[in-house]
Amino acid sequence: MLKSFKPVLLGSVLFAASALCAADSDLERVMKERNLSEKDVLAAAKTYQPTGRKDDYMVFSSGGQSGQVIVYGVPSMRIYKYIGVFTPEPWQGYGFDEESKAVLRSGSINGKEINWGDTHHPNFSEKNGEYVGDYLFINDKANPRIAVINLSDFETTQIVVNPVIKSDHGGSFVTPNTEYVIETSQYAAPFDNDWHPIEEYQAVYRGAVTLWKFDYDKGKIDVNKSFSLELPPYMQDLSDAGKGESFGWAFTNSFNSEMYTGGIEKGLPPMEAGMSRNDTDYLHVYNWQILEKLAQDSKNYKVVNGHRIVTIDAAVKAGALFLIPEAKSPHGVDVSPDGRYIIIGGKLDTHASVYDFKKIKELIDKKEYAGKDPYGIPILDMQKTLHGQAELGLGPLHNTFDSQDGVIYTSLYVDSQIVKWNYKTLKVLDRINVHYNIGHLDSMEGKSSKPVGKYVIALDKLSIDRFNPIGPLHPQNHQLIDITGPKMEMLYDLPIGLGEPHDVVSIAASKLHTKPTYTMGTNSRTGKQHPAMTLAGQERIERDGKNVKVYATAIRSHINPEHIEVNKDDNVTIYMTNLERAEDETHGFTVDDYDLHMSLEPGKTASVNFIADKEGVFPFYCTEFCSALHLEMFGYLYVKDPNKKYTSAKASMLKALSPEALKAEYDKVVATNKATDDVIQSVVKFLKEKNYEKYPKVKALVDDALDQYGKIPETKAKADAAVKAGDMNGAILWEGQVWQYLVKTADVGLRAKNNLIRELSTPMSEAASNGEKAYLRGGCNGCHVIGQVSSGPDLTGVLLRHENGEKWVADFIKDPAKFYEDDYVKAMINYFNLRMPNQHMKDEEIKDIIEYLKWVDENAGLN
Ligand code: RUQ
Ligand code: CUA
């Protein structure tokens, strides 16, 4: 439908208006009915993805109080996944299978299980300050922790607990080559785990920045090589790592230079008043390269809870720590893509301050200080380090950058706006209203050293009236804004109903290299082969006293074993391997009433462990709708009390079929199997002739198909043995199983064939590909199967069957009824007992379909 709108997108507004006046415009009618302006439709056209079209950018959003990470695409704003991080996530089995529990539980704090998190700032791994789509880091503000997510499968693989700080906010920021992941404390607290009264605030309470060492090859934070820097109790806030000119340095602001400690219950002014008293707070400037060296020598650090903390004194002495006054109650701190400027917003100021690292460095080199704070840290003069300030509006919070030099976007929390301005010239360029009360914002790859720009996402804390009401707890609003022109244009509102998604980072989709399936037997949380990997034929149940280990497999459409018998209070572990190799053939597994679940993507091995403390019969089943016989993919866990006598019911007698009826049924199954096998043989012949092994995707499918097929001989032998033994019931069941294998083989085999045809065929022109879509949209495939006569004629060669074929076919599609009396068409109608209906195709669509049919003919030899 939007196709007819193309002139509007390409042409001038004038032309657009005249195009819209065209009488037969469906678009015009829909616009009227839905009360859409031209601007609305343009926004829709910029974000709409037709089925099958992929997004250009992938966005990773913190899930706020959900403790998860939300993944969505730009420009469509379609949500793809919620990644379980600090919170159990049942779909992925996260926190319900043993392998993921090992990760989730490594986030326990002093032995206490923590089952939620307040995720705040996600960040990608970087090389030279540019995003690399290998890892994502995210912090938990509530229970100071950092998690590592492996972007090859979007699974959380590590959680580290901060041993010395009690809350964090300024995490997780990454140094330009992912040397360190930075985590900064928020609320100052004692480093140790003892009691210290508030009177000891200045003496004992401390802030800190923790530098978590990242081992890139292992994809893991190396806890032993990580250390912290002690900071005064100024309530450190956000951070950013220097890059380019400021490489080696990092910046953290703070909001309580007053060191006020509150006491509203004692009649003292509340925290918010006491902490906003001074005109300025402190930006912390520190050098992690120097700190790294200091952390090698025990005279520079103290050890608390087994963790090294470089002291303020040592850092000051080594010239690694400085303070610069900043406008009161600052918030975001963002380093410009080239590393030269540091831009800071102030929640209670209307200005953003731009600091010049060159000037900072000069003062440091000259040792020119304006004074010292009570902890002996040198203070640099604010005016001498400032490049300048820009008046932006009320409540500037966060920044993101554009590909254009100097262009920056800043969120205004109080004004509910985004301001586009230039941090070099300090000129405001544009502003746009957002809905409402924006916190973070992010342009595409906007915080890397090479921002792409293109879109900005506004993360609005309040949505108020934007969406259908869903009760007093409203969703957040992520708004997509086009920033390619001089004026920002609002495109899309995405309600997010999962926590307060706090911050996002975005990356070009092409930079993500995800794996489609796992190498057989992989423990996805370690990336290594699972010791309990079980291949077909290795299924077994092992008992050792009260310990029962089940080595199971899952493949369409059965779990092996199907019966598991244990005694009450046995300690049961079920290891399961998904034997599939084809993409998207996931099985899930649960045992009813036992609070267990695992997700088994193709090739994965995972396990569940439980004490069988409830007696009875418990179905277990596959939880993903994996195949037509998914409902049959189940079994029973029998939990029996060995000390109890059970009286069993008499087996009921079912009426038996007569021997003749049984024989007839058996013959029928055997004949069906023969026919199905013929289809398979023709597909196999095709695949072999075309050297399918050369195409990995096709090969994976064929391997899966042959796996299924390979099970037939032994099954068939069982059927034959049953016939010999006169057990016709058994023979029918085994032949039925043969049929199951045949059908699965045929199903996967045909998918492989279609895939291979696509691989081998000549590339489709855009028109042909549009034609194929129109063909499918029009439902032509309901009657016509390419390469085969079905309820309608095969369309291969249709253009050659008629004189002036292209025109004939086009006219026929346009108005079939005109041809019903034509001799040829009459004969067809008689043969198929069907008339070609009028599908009301547009001329453009018919043209494209002809192109598609040409492509079919070109590749006719492939069918
Ligand atoms: S900080 S909304 Cu929690 Cu990222 Cu400013
Ligand atoms: Cu496997 Cu459903």
Q: Which residue has the tokens 């809905």?
A: 435
Query: How many whole angstroms separate alpha carbon 305 and alpha carbon 579?
Result: 45
pLDDT band for position 859 (cuts 50, 70, 90): confident
Q: Residue 827: is it exposed, middle or buried by C-beta count within 10 angstroms (0-12/13-18/19+)?
A: exposed
Closest ligand 1 atom to residue 502 Cα is 4
Closest ligand 1 atom to residue 459 Cα is 2
Q: Which residue has the tokens 């921002």?
A: 451
Query: How many whole angstroms separate alpha carbon 244 and alpha carbon 700?
Result: 45
Closest ligand 1 atom to residue 237 Cα is 1
Q: Ligand 1 within 6 A of 397 CB?
A: yes
Cα separations (Å) of 774 from 53, 195, 206, 803? 15, 72, 66, 24
This prediction's pTM: 0.84
Looking at the CA of 620, name the nearest ligand: 2
Query: How many whole angstroms separate alpha carbon 334 and alpha carbon 239?
Result: 8
- The predicted-structure confidence for 297-338, as pLDDT tens digits, reads as follows 999 999 999 999 999 999 999 999 999 999 888 998 999 999
Distance 590 CA to ligand 2 centre (A): 11
Residue to substitute in 434, 502, 505 for testing ligand 1 pocket (most ligand atoms within 8 angstroms of CB): 502
Query: How many whole angstroms separate alpha carbon 414 and alpha carbon 438?
Result: 8
Q: Ligand 2 within 6 A of 558 CB?
A: no
Answer whether 201's CB lies under 8 Å from 170's CB: no
Query: How many whole angstroms separate alpha carbon 212 and alpha carbon 220?
Result: 10
Residue 3 zone, left/alpha/beta (φ > 0; ψ -120 to 50; rest)? alpha
Residue 584 zone, left/alpha/beta (φ > 0; ψ -120 to 50; rest)? left
Q: Ligand 2 within 6 A of 630 CB?
A: yes
Q: Ligand 1 within 6 A of 121 CB?
A: yes
Q: Ligand 2 within 6 A of 633 CB?
A: yes
Q: Ligand 1 within 6 A of 447 CB?
A: no
Pairing of strands 634-640, 563-567: parallel
Which residue's C-alpha comes closest to atom 2 of ligand 1? Answer: 439
| pLDDT above 60 (res 17) | no
Cβ count near 465 (within 10 Å): 9
- Kindly report whether the peptide bond that precedes residue 761 is cis, defined as omega within 30 degrees of 0: no
Which residue's C-alpha comes closest to atom 1 of ligand 2? Answer: 587
Q: Ligand 1 within 6 A of 308 CB?
A: no
Q: What are phi and psi of 542, to 5 degrees?
A: -110, 135
- Kindly report whether the peptide bond that precedes residue 75 is cis, defined as omega within 30 degrees of 0: yes
- The predicted-structure confidence for 163-199, as pLDDT tens digits, reads as follows 999 999 988 999 999 999 999 999 999 999 999 999 9
pLDDT of residue 495: 97
Query: How many whole angstroms separate alpha carbon 532 and alpha carbon 549?
Result: 10
DSSP state of 766: H
Tokens of 728: 């016709």
Say which CATH topology domain 528-638 has. Immunoglobulin-like (2.60.40)
Query: How many whole angstroms separate alpha carbon 410 and alpha carbon 402?
Result: 11
How distant is the alpha carbon of residue 363 from its chain centre? 45
pLDDT band for position 13 (cuts 50, 70, 90): very low
| pLDDT above 80 (res 10) | no
pLDDT of residue 653: 52
| pLDDT above 90 (res 783) | no
pLDDT of residue 374: 96
Residue 856 or residue 616, greater confidence: 616
DSSP per-residue string spanning 179-192:
SEEEEEBSS-B-SS
| pLDDT above 90 (res 429) | yes
Q: What is the dihedral of CA 721, 722, 724, 727, to 10 degrees?
A: 170
Distance 92 CA to ligand 2 centre (A): 15
Distance 91 CA to ligand 2 centre (A): 14
Looking at the CA of 440, name the nearest ligand: 1
Query: How many whole angstroms separate alpha carbon 329 and alpha carbon 144?
Result: 22
Indicate the SS3 state at residue 604. Answer: strand
Looking at the CA of 627, name the nearest ligand: 2
Return the H-helix or E-strand segment holding 689.
helix 659-689
Could you tell me which CATH number the domain at 766-860 has?
Answer: 1.10.760.10
Query: How many whole angstroms separate alpha carbon 437 and alpha carbon 156?
Result: 31
Q: Residue 80: is it exposed, middle or buried by C-beta count within 10 angstroms (0-12/13-18/19+)?
A: middle
How distant is the alpha carbon of residue 10 from its chain centre? 34
pLDDT of residue 7: 40
pLDDT of residue 655: 62
Query: How many whole angstroms separate alpha carbon 765 and alpha carbon 772?
Result: 11
Say which CATH topology domain 55-261+273-509 has. Methylamine Dehydrogenase; Chain H (2.130.10)
Q: Residue 215: is it exposed, middle or buried by C-beta count within 10 angstroms (0-12/13-18/19+)?
A: exposed
Q: How long a stretch of residues is the chain?
A: 863
Cβ count near 188 (within 10 Å): 25
Q: Ligand 1 within 6 A of 284 CB?
A: no
- The predicted-structure confidence for 713-757, as pLDDT tens digits, reads as follows 999 999 999 999 988 988 999 998 999 889 888 888 888 888 888
Which residue's C-alpha comes closest to atom 5 of ligand 1? Answer: 439
Q: What single letter denotes the amino acid at residue 793?
A: P
Cβ count near 82 (within 10 Å): 20
Distance 88 CA to ligand 1 centre (A): 24
Least confident of 384-398, 465-479, 663-677: 663-677
Answer whether 62's CB lies under 8 Å from 85's CB: no
Cα separations (Å) of 642 from 542, 543, 571, 611, 647? 18, 15, 15, 15, 13
Answer whether 157's CB lies under 8 Å from 137's CB: no
- The predicted-structure confidence for 203-225, as pLDDT tens digits, reads as follows 999 999 999 999 999 999 999 99
Query: How many whole angstroms separate alpha carbon 478 and alpha carbon 492?
Result: 8
Answer whether 344's CB lies under 8 Å from 333's CB: yes
Mean pLDDT across 116-131: 97
Cα separations (Å) of 209 from 169, 171, 311? 10, 9, 11
Q: Ligand 2 within 6 A of 600 CB?
A: no
Looking at the CA of 140, name the nearest ligand: 1
Q: Ligand 1 within 6 A of 503 CB?
A: yes
Q: Ligand 1 within 6 A of 502 CB?
A: yes
Q: Ligand 2 within 6 A of 626 CB?
A: yes
- The predicted-structure confidence for 466-496, as pLDDT tens digits, reads as follows 999 999 999 999 999 999 999 999 999 999 9
Least confident of 13-17, 22-26, 500-504, 751-755: 13-17
Q: Where are the alpha helices (DSSP H) in 162-270?
A: 201-204
Residue to substitute in 119, 139, 167, 331 for testing ligand 1 pocket (most ligand atoms within 8 angstroms of CB): 331
Closest ligand 2 atom to residue 588 Cα is 1
Answer whether 123's CB lies under 8 Å from 136's CB: yes
Query: How many whole angstroms separate alpha carbon 299 and alpha carbon 313?
Result: 11
Residue in 336, 359, 135, 324 with CA at minimum distance from that of residue 243? 336
pLDDT band for position 657 (cuts 50, 70, 90): confident
Q: Ligand 1 within 6 A of 439 CB?
A: yes
Report, in angstroms and rounded to the nearest whole number, the Rg of the chain calculated over CA atoms.
33
| pLDDT above 60 (res 816) | yes
Distance 440 CA to ligand 1 centre (A): 6
Distance 504 CA to ligand 1 centre (A): 11
Tokens of 252: 């953290």
Query: How many whole angstroms separate alpha carbon 850 and alpha carbon 856?
Result: 10
Instruction: Calculate the average pLDDT of the chain.
Output: 92
Residue in 182, 147, 176 with CA at minimum distance from that of residue 161? 147
- The predicted-structure confidence for 606-653, as pLDDT tens digits, reads as follows 999 999 999 999 999 999 999 888 899 999 999 999 999 888 766 555
Handedness of CA 338, 342, 344, 350 (dihedral sign): negative
Closest ligand 2 atom to residue 626 Cα is 2
